[in-house]
Structure 1
Amino acid sequence: MREVIARHGLSASKALGQNFLFDEQLLDRIAAIPGDLSGRQVLEVGPGPGGLTRALLRAGARVTAIEMDRRCLPALAELGEAFPGQLRVVEGDALKLDHAELMGGEPFAVLSNLPYNVGTALFVRWLGGQNWPPLWTSLTLMFQQEVAQRIVAQPGGSTYGRLAVLAQWRAEAKLAMKVHRSAFTPPPKVMSAVVHVTPCAIPEGVSARTLERLTEAAFGQRRKMLRQSLKGVPGAVEVLEKLGIDPQRRAETVSIREFTQISRELG
């Protein structure tokens, strides 16, 4: 990979949130997290010069890679030639593309060393929507360790928030691997971690849109009591009383099960 980067004169762009990984053993371990990828469709966002892409192709995956940095396209084209028929590169902004349409409406796994500046927005988008189960079969994603801890957090702690609820109310999220900052070029200021998410059954009668609105209000003012933070959600305070949930509690003490119960009552 270092040779590829040198040959194409590439360097990580701070503006695009890029940090390159070169350790092939580490990349192979990440590619192995969702299980056997042989013949499976995989979506990768922000492949850069293709470090993780190479590991996915070695694992036998059929990879669709979305890259908006034109400087990286020649290196990815070179990689495509080395693995004929396995790699398709789409130039564009992953936040503006329809991923299900891009993958032909077929199930796919998502594996990405996500650019730091769009990682959370993409993650929330993959978790959203009323249609469930989603077309993606799993999400295996590299985040800053702080963000990863927020995704797998349990109620009661400072890291528990909206991201944890959205990730866990109808999916299983686990911390799969920690990655030291020294593994990247250039090394970021923080540690990183890989999160693995798989969809579960959706709780009956719960609207994703309602839950998203509820958690946005509750955690948008997390230091306030629920009776204050949920004022903007019609009927929410009355539902708390109906369910026997103390309106003086703060959002970080409310379990995922309680959030789904409130959402179900709100309709």
Structure 2
Amino acid sequence: MNVVREPLASVIARHDLAARHALGQHFLLDPGITERIVELSGPLAGRHVVEVGPGPGGLTRALIDSEAASILAVEVDPRAVTIIDELATEAPERLRLIEADATTLDLTTLCPAPRRVISNLPYNVATPLLVGWLRQAAAWERLTLMFQLEVAERICAAPGTSAYGRLGILAQWCARCEAIMRLPPGAFSPPPKVWSAVVEITPHAEQPSPELFRAMEKVTAAAFGQRRKMLRGSLKSIGGEKLLAAADIDGARRAETLDVSEFDRLARIFLAQGT
């Protein structure tokens, strides 16, 4: 689609859309970058895409230009809502806007399948949004998400590394996770203090039940709540000795040494024991 559009910097100035730290806003203005993110997300023909925090609409423009069947934009900032409303006139039958806090919504009820999420997530809600989507991983075909680099590294971290913890275990338990793009602070307006990265999250065919997911959350919360403790100590509040014995895991180990399959075993036993 060859559309002559007002430059994003001009749109931002016209609507006085100064980024707000409280909303975790850092805007992507380079169309080459936003187009590349959409390209890396894979073929979108017939797919229904959710974008959280479109801001001035840089990524939204690239999504409109893609073959996505529909785009659902969720924005909490009234200033940005006005901008996306203007942009919706380009594709009134494909682009729908909801003014709301995405953390309060069940997006699977608002977007038909097959569903994808493609977003430059607001930094302040990126992690809770991801965990919420992981709870519903079976409903999503793929998530292509921008995070602070530190968060992206946690999502993709391997056992035994300093970044490995609860978030990586939950994400890798439910999906294949891969960092596919890194961006320096200067790619954003205003520049954040850190690098950022796009992570591709592709849910596994088999997903844990809601009950098992909650069990995994409890086990990992206990295990990493006192990270430097041995497991027999950190898991004490949830029946550590009995749980570790049933899972055949040495209680002298620390949480960061267990791989995802070992945490899966602990979560399943924890759920079965009804601790």
TM-score range, shorter chain: over 0.9
TM-score calculated relative to the size of structure 1:
0.93
Letter in 2 for 1:128: R
Aligned twin of 2:226: 221
Q: Does 1:159 align with 2:167?
A: no
What CA distance in whole angstroms lies between the structure 1 residues aligned with 2:205 and 2:265? Answer: 15
The Cα offsets for residues 211-260 of structure 1, whole Å up to 9 and x where unpaired, read as 111011101111111111111113x4213123331101110001111111
Aligned twin of 1:200: 204
Aligned twin of 1:75: 83
Matches of residues 20-59 of structure 1 in structure 2 within 5 Å? 20-59=27-66
The Cα offsets for residues 13-44 of structure 1, whole Å up to 9 and x where unpaired, read as 11111001111011011011221113421011
TM-score calculated relative to the size of structure 2:
0.91
What CA distance in whole angstroms lies between the structure 2 residues aligned with 1:90 and 1:113? Answer: 17
What CA distance in whole angstroms lies between the structure 2 residues aligned with 1:128 and 1:203? Answer: 9
Contact 1:167 1:173 in 2 (8 A): yes
Identity level (%): 50
What CA distance in whole angstroms lies between the structure 2 residues aligned with 1:76 and 1:228? Answer: 51
Q: 1:203 to 1:108 in 2, by over 3 A?
A: closer
The Cα offsets for residues 133-153 of structure 1, whole Å up to 9 and x where unpaired, read as 521111111000000000000
Aligned residues: 262
The 3-state SS of whatever aligns with 2:123 is coil
What CA distance in whole angstroms lies between the structure 2 residues aligned with 1:8 and 1:39? Answer: 33
Q: Does 1:210 align with 2:215?
A: yes
Moved more, 55-64 or 152-161: 55-64
Contact 1:113 1:143 in 2 (8 A): yes
What CA distance in whole angstroms lies between the structure 1 residues aligned with 2:207 and 2:23? Answer: 37
The 3-state SS of whatever aligns with 2:253 is coil
Contact 1:42 1:63 in 2 (8 A): yes
The Cα offsets for residues 81-138 of structure 1, whole Å up to 9 and x where unpaired, read as 122311101001101111111114x331001100010000101111125xxx521111
Aligned twin of 1:243: 247
What CA distance in whole angstroms lies between the structure 2 residues aligned with 1:54 and 1:232? Answer: 50
The Cα offsets for residues 57-91 of structure 1, whole Å up to 9 and x where unpaired, read as 11132110110100112211111112231110100
Contact 1:145 1:192 in 2 (8 A): yes
Q: Does 1:182 align with 2:186?
A: yes
Unaligned ranges ≥5, structure 2? 1-7
RMSD value, Cα: 1.6
Contact 1:169 1:202 in 2 (8 A): no
1:116 corresponds to which of 118, 123, 127: 123
Superposition deviation, residue 203 in structure 1: 7.0
Contact 1:203 1:260 in 2 (8 A): no
The 3-state SS of whatever aligns with 1:118 is helix
Q: Does 1:142 align with 2:149?
A: no
Letter in 1 for 2:185: R
Contact 2:148 2:194 in 1 (8 A): yes
Aligned twin of 1:15: 22
Contact 1:170 1:199 in 2 (8 A): yes
Q: 1:212 to 1:32 in 2, by over 3 A?
A: same
Q: More helix per residue: 1 or 2?
A: 2
What CA distance in whole angstroms lies between the structure 2 residues aligned with 1:177 and 1:30? Answer: 8
What CA distance in whole angstroms lies between the structure 2 residues aligned with 1:97 and 1:203? Answer: 21
Query: Which 4+ runs in 1 deviate beyond 3 A?
Result: 201-206
The Cα offsets for residues 130-189 of structure 1, whole Å up to 9 and x where unpaired, read as xxx521111111000000000000000110000110001121000010011100000000
Contact 1:218 1:251 in 2 (8 A): yes
